[in-house]
Structure 1
Amino acid sequence: MASDATHAERRVSPVFLALVAVMAVSMWAVWTDYAASPGFAVFLFVVSGWVVSLCLHEYAHARTALHGGDITVGAKGYLTLNPLKYTHAVLSVVLPVIFVIMGGIGLPGGAVFIERHRVHGRWKHSLISAAGPLTNVLFAVVCAAPFWLGALDGVPDTFRYALGFMVLLQVSAALLNLLPVPGMDGYGIVEPWLSPGVRRQVEPFAPFGFLALFGFLMIPEVNDAFFDLIHAVLRVLGVEEWDAYWGRRLFQFWDAPESVPSPADQWQWIRVG
């Protein structure tokens, strides 16, 4: 009976499989230009891919916590990849999707509840916090693989741009999550190494860290500097600002252009800019 329960706790949720199916079908629609509206297909592809990455992000936290000593994550449903099992489904899925739609930025959400008292050792606590953003890093590298491998010959422009925008979201999510701001994974990485006094002083601000971060990003100078950093990372991955820009334009299908230029037109855009 115990083994049956353990197997059920780790069985992949039909909700997650449905998300993967939507991602696969919309990816096919983008690749083949089958959809009547390429922008809407890009929208479905990016949103479903973004939610899949959020599920993997939270799963990485939970799986690392399980190996770190918190055996309760299975009973909470965190190992099924079901986003509806999160402590705050709205914060974990709905708000991040809204931020993507509004601003084209991968603001992270939260969270799975880890019973930290069951985990012993500072390194284990840091690894639990780091596991999530490292998943975004891996997702970004995989999505950017056709760019840095030079394997884009014959790839439809619409699919190329959608991938470019997907990489931007993953890079922005990883960078934001790794900031040592209370309430973010970056702070969770360094928190075990802080003195008890410092942790007590910072603890009351943790619920407001996300809001403070969002507020700072609304400052034009901060926003520009942050996106400069994002595009610097994208260039390392082989993704040009052109690719991410047109991916975002297609993603916003309600305001998408009637025609999209090819990568060969990029030199004119750079010269004019």
Structure 2
Amino acid sequence: MTSAASVRHEHRRPSPVFLGLVAVMGVSGWAVWGGFAGVTGLAVFLFVVSGWIVSLCLHEYAHARSALHGGDVSVGAKGYLTLNPLKYTHALLSIVLPVLFVVMGGIGLPGGAVFIERGRIRGRWRHSLISAAGPLTNALFAVVLTAPWWLDAMDGVPVAFRCALAFLAMLQVTAAILNFLPVPGLDGYGVIEPWLSHRTRAQAEPFAPYGLLVVFGCLWIPQVNEVFWDAIDAVMRSLGVSDAETYFGLEYFRFWAGEPENVFVGLGLL
């Protein structure tokens, strides 16, 4: 009988690709902190994008790890436990599109999930936990990123780094909230799916490939967009992060438009 403990060590070791992403995040974060003239915007862009991809890797790893302990030992051989984004079943959905959405609209839309052999999983609670593990990881990452705020440890933190950190945290909050929506194809639906009748699941299944597109389309509706961002801002404020900090984080991120003006005034530093 195979078990989680039987998965080979090399199938658990973090991949060089993931470690490279962490290195890029660290170096670009150091550059943002240092405030090197002429490269702050580019450094913020690299810090946020690499940090966002790292969070996507952790999101998918959480799905795979919970599936492993739920009974699907096949995730090891598939490379899902190595945090290598190139091993995902849908690399386009899992990495490329989420990064594109960040660049285009400053929003952390969820990507495609790793392929879990659900037939190996026993028990509805385990199925729900596997689906919930990904967005819960985003939520935890958001809490960690905003720790300097709610621990009142922001003294001496450079403005650009502060704004970049706020923007990256906001992406985690949007990803967690969007992923928990009970829409077919998203993790929120995966949480409740085991508890639905067979007929309801069969009716919803054809819509799963289009769930992400439906959510993205709904966000273009002004009334929906307003409610959504009001909720995001409320969550960020509860973590101690101001609207201005996330706004200027996005402005720094879009370095091709020039570094933001009046950032000190916007953050109440002048």
**Distance in 2 between residues matched to 1:211 and 1:85, nearest whole Å:** 23
Question: Does residue 34 of the first structure (1) align with residue 36 of the second (2)?
Answer: yes
Most deviating of 251-260 and 165-174: 251-260
CA contact (8 A) 2:252 2:260 kept: no
TM-align CA RMSD = 1.8
Find the counterpart in structure 2 of residue 76 from structure 1.
78
1:142-192 deviations in Å (ceiling 9; x for gaps): 000001111100000000000110111000000000000000000000000
CA contact (8 A) 1:134 1:174 kept: yes
Tell me the amino acid that sits aligned with residue 105 of structure 2: G
Match of 1:94 among 76, 93, 96: 96
CA contact (8 A) 1:35 1:41 kept: no
Question: How big is the shift at 1:261?
Answer: 2.1
Q: Give the secondary structure class of the aligned counterpart of 2:146.
A: helix
Match of 2:251 among 249, 252, 259: 249
**Distance in 2 between residues matched to 1:83 and 1:256, nearest whole Å:** 31
Question: How big is the shift at 1:265?
Answer: 4.5
Tell me the amino acid that sits aligned with residue 143 of structure 2: V
In the superposition, relative to structure 1, how do residues 179 and 53 fare at CA in structure 2: closer, same or farther (>3 Å)?
same
Question: How big is the shift at 1:218?
Answer: 1.0
Find the counterpart in structure 2 of residue 124 from structure 1.
126
CA contact (8 A) 2:245 2:267 kept: no
What pairs with 1:42-191 in structure 2 (closer than 5 Å)? 42-191=44-193
Find the counterpart in structure 2 of residue 196 from structure 1.
198
**Distance in 2 between residues matched to 1:103 and 1:261, nearest whole Å:** 20
Most deviating of 30-39 and 84-93: 30-39
**Distance in 2 between residues matched to 1:208 and 1:258, nearest whole Å:** 36
CA contact (8 A) 1:73 1:79 kept: yes
Question: How big is the shift at 1:266?
Answer: 3.6
- The number of aligned residues is 267
In the superposition, relative to structure 1, how do residues 30 and 266 fare at CA in structure 2: closer, same or farther (>3 Å)?
closer
**Distance in 2 between residues matched to 1:14 and 1:43, nearest whole Å:** 22
Tell me the amino acid that sits aligned with residue 124 of structure 1: R
Question: How big is the shift at 1:121?
Answer: 0.2
Give the TM-score normalised by the residue count of structure 1. 0.94
1:116-148 deviations in Å (ceiling 9; x for gaps): 000000000000000000000010000000011
CA contact (8 A) 1:246 1:260 kept: no
Q: Give the secondary structure class of the aligned counterpart of 2:89.
A: coil
Structure 1 gaps, min length 5 = none
**Distance in 1 between residues matched to 2:51 and 2:226, nearest whole Å:** 26
Identity of aligned residues (%): 66
Structure 2 gaps, min length 5 = none
Question: How big is the shift at 1:256?
Answer: 2.8
CA contact (8 A) 2:251 2:260 kept: no
> What stretches of structure 1 move > 3 A for 4+ residues in a row?
2-5, 257-260, 264-269
Tell me the amino acid that sits aligned with residue 128 of structure 2: S
**Distance in 2 between residues matched to 1:112 and 1:52, nearest whole Å:** 15
